[in-house]
Chains A and B, each alone.
Chain A
Amino acid sequence: MAESGEQKVPKDVEDHKGGKDKKGAKDIPAKKPKTKAERRALQEAQRAAKAAAQGQKMPAVSQQRPKGGKSRGHEAVVSSALGSKATARSQLNLFSHLDQYEKGSSLSLSIGVTSDIHPAVHRLGLKYANGSIVGSNARAVALMHALKHVIQDYKTPPQKSLDRDLEISIRPLIAFLKRCRPIAIGMGNAINYLKYHITRTAEKSEVEAKAYLCEQIDTFLAGRVHAADKLIADQGASKINDGDVVLTFACSHVVKMVLNAAYEEGKKFRVVVVDSRPRNEGVRMLADLVEIGMECTYVAYHAVSYIMKEVTKVFLGASALLANGAVVSRNGTAGVAMMASSRNLPVLVCCETYKFCDRAQLDSICFNELGNPAELLPRAGERSSAACPAESIEYVAGFADKPTLNVLNLTYDLTPIQFVTAVLTDVGIIPPTSVPVVLREYNRELPMSVS
């Protein structure tokens, strides 16, 4: 909740956790003329007027943010922290059940020093929103580091116990991060892990509890992420032989480690990097692999079928593995796995167990993240070629005003289990059908999965 107008200096970092619970929904500051509900109502009225003017039915109201039961207080915290975002028009009806992409307009300017979000989480949220931190591992590791800061700075308010209150005070931070960019499944699992351990601090003193939680976070990162990556790299390297042509898609940190480990062992192999628009993460992968010294080929997505005849193995990264063995990964992975599988090439997915999830999904549409459609659009000043006349480029660039034109930018897609040969994890090389088995074994120790 935003502070009252008198406070000019930034709040002392130590206090803000303590004060937050009392603020809640009651303290709507005078300087905000409208509540979120009023602003929304005004927005709806304006949109209805515009739609009526266009003679078109109102698009399905899709800006139902945030989903799930969050209290008014959290909404107010989140909205005051981020300011108002320009809402995007509703995209293809297929995706009206998902959060539509909303481009945050000058996020950093709207976040004032009076916001109640911990500065480490602020920084993190901004980095997520503008794409400085991408990749499931990078995001999860950064998240855990930020939460460690939050825990270290936390002070239990009087009359409250850490094991209950800390979790409550973390919730608005997570809500803020979700607003910057929807969290990945691995991140959700990590947060659940932390919440479980928070409940285990009941008998500890505050100092002991904080030390315990920081230690648990360190153990998680060291064991479930970094050591897991090392194990996967060694297993993957053992699967690469001399003369292999290994194909990989976009940029995966753990696949890079696999290829690096194989290269260090002295194996002679080639790498093919397949890249796709709009993110072009393959360029980064290519740069890193070339720096290590590997022989690389770079192709864009349209050449997958052309290049597949040279390939002997495919290594893919994953954002999550679902209980039905399906792989959630960067948009385009499914097509690559399909083409490899149609030529009977082994498709090896490298995924740490902390990214396993007990949800099941059959297609890429029921759950996905919608990215910024502007990434697909022509950049300002992009010149027309004989291929694509200038007026078409302009027409598409202005798609927001065109009722019959949508631009869709998916972030993830789902690779069905049929295309995956094996999954390399920190518990060994397992078939994709064994994912629920691993989940069950881990759940015996502690609850890890996100429903």
Chain B
Amino acid sequence: AINTHGGACGGNNNNNNNNNNNNKNDSEVIMTYGASVTVEAFLSEVARKGRNFQVIVAEGAPTLRGRHMAACLAKAGIDTTLISDSAVFAMMGRVNKVIIGTHGVLANGGLVAPAGIHTMAQAAKFHSVPVVVCAGLYKLAPLYPRHQDSFNELSSPSELLNFEEVDRILQSNGEACADVQNPCFDYVPPELVSLFVTHLGAHNPSYIYRLLAEYYYPEDHCISGASSLF
């Protein structure tokens, strides 16, 4: 599904890129998380235009999509370094910009992003690194988060610990139980996002709610069964 979206948004991506190559200065260090088709297209376009920068890719456990991103960027000739998620805070001190994709954009400018991005955004805030979110506006939803986990879902714990391992651990104690949680998404509050780069241009998170009018009739702002969308 992501690939078809990427193809359909080829035009979108180019528009993203044209708007925002000015953002890049020479020899910058960019950090990104996991794999995003939009971010990959954005960075490839910037590299094609001859800007000199390095990318640090966090691998994005447990799906480890970051490897795919690192491979694509390296093939495009960009200096890429692959790190584990736990090294994000350590490396953030040397990063100039964080550029990420997202799963969805909420009406308040917050993100429903792959799990782990909240930690990265918080680390970026600590180090005063701007966080740029590249997203086509088809990801915009007229929904507000009621609480932090409004739009989260949990995926299989076997991605973290396979069943044989858990069996072995639990055998040591007859009454033992261990709870393994594997959330898919993180909610990132709009305060942590510096800029949205969309095919209509670059916006502050505070502007996102105005864009709702472009995409949704006011009657559709309240979608019943909203939590089942994600």
Chain A residues within CB distance 8 Å of chain B: 91-92, 94, 275-278, 283, 286-287, 290-293, 295-307, 309, 331-332, 334-335, 338-339, 342, 363-365, 368, 376, 378, 385, 387-389, 391-393, 395-396, 399, 402, 404-410, 413-414
Closest 10 CB pairs of A and B: A332-B86, A302-B116, A364-B90, A392-B71, A305-B118, A405-B74, A276-B86, A413-B90, A395-B71, A291-B172
Which of B15-23, B102-110, B181-189, B196-204 lies at the binding interface?
B181-189
Question: Known: A283-B161, A363-B93, A393-B67. Is A407-B81 also a contact (CB below 8 A)?
Answer: yes
CB contacts under 8 Å to A, within B68-99, are: 68, 70-75, 77-91, 93-94
Offer 14 A-B interface pairs, CB within 8 angstroms, sorted by A.
Answer: A277-B59, A277-B86, A283-B161, A290-B169, A293-B173, A335-B86, A338-B122, A388-B64, A388-B67, A393-B71, A405-B71, A408-B82, A410-B90, A413-B90
What chain A residues lie within 8 Å of B219 (beta carbons)? none
Interface of B is mostly: mixed
| Contact yes or no, A405 B82, CB < 8 A | yes
| Contact yes or no, A392 B181, CB < 8 A | no
What chain B residues lie within 8 Å of A376 (beta carbons)? 59, 82-84
What chain B residues lie within 8 Å of A364 (beta carbons)? 89-91, 93
CB-based A-B contact count at 8 angstroms? 200
| Contact yes or no, B67 A278, CB < 8 A | no
What chain A residues lie within 8 Å of B72 (beta carbons)? 392
Chain B: residues with Cβ within 8 Å of the partner, total of 62
| Contact yes or no, A303 B67, CB < 8 A | no
Docked pose: A96 CA to B123 CA in angstroms: 24
What chain B residues lie within 8 Å of A307 (beta carbons)? 181
Taking A290-B173, A297-B179, A301-B119 as given, write out 5 further A-B residue pairs in contact, using a Cβ cutoff of 8 Å, ordered by the A residue number.
Answer: A302-B183, A305-B122, A331-B87, A338-B119, A404-B79
What chain B residues lie within 8 Å of A287 (beta carbons)? 168-169, 172
What's the minimum C-beta distance from B179 to chain A, rounded to whole angstroms?
4
B60 at the A interface (CB under 8 A):
yes
B126 at the A interface (CB under 8 A):
yes
B148-192 vs A: 1/0 string, CB under 8 Å?
110010000000110001001110110111111111001000000
What chain B residues lie within 8 Å of A302 (beta carbons)? 60-62, 85, 114-116, 119, 183, 186
What chain A residues lie within 8 Å of B90 (beta carbons)? 331, 334, 363-365, 368, 410, 413-414
Contact of B119 among A295, A297, A335, A405 (CB under 8 A): A335
| Contact yes or no, B186 A300, CB < 8 A | no
| Contact yes or no, A396 B126, CB < 8 A | no
What's the minimum C-beta distance from B172 to chain A, rounded to whole angstroms?
4
What chain A residues lie within 8 Å of B94 (beta carbons)? 94, 365
What's the minimum C-beta distance from A365 to chain B, rounded to whole angstroms?
6
B128 at the A interface (CB under 8 A):
no
| Contact yes or no, B82 A406, CB < 8 A | yes
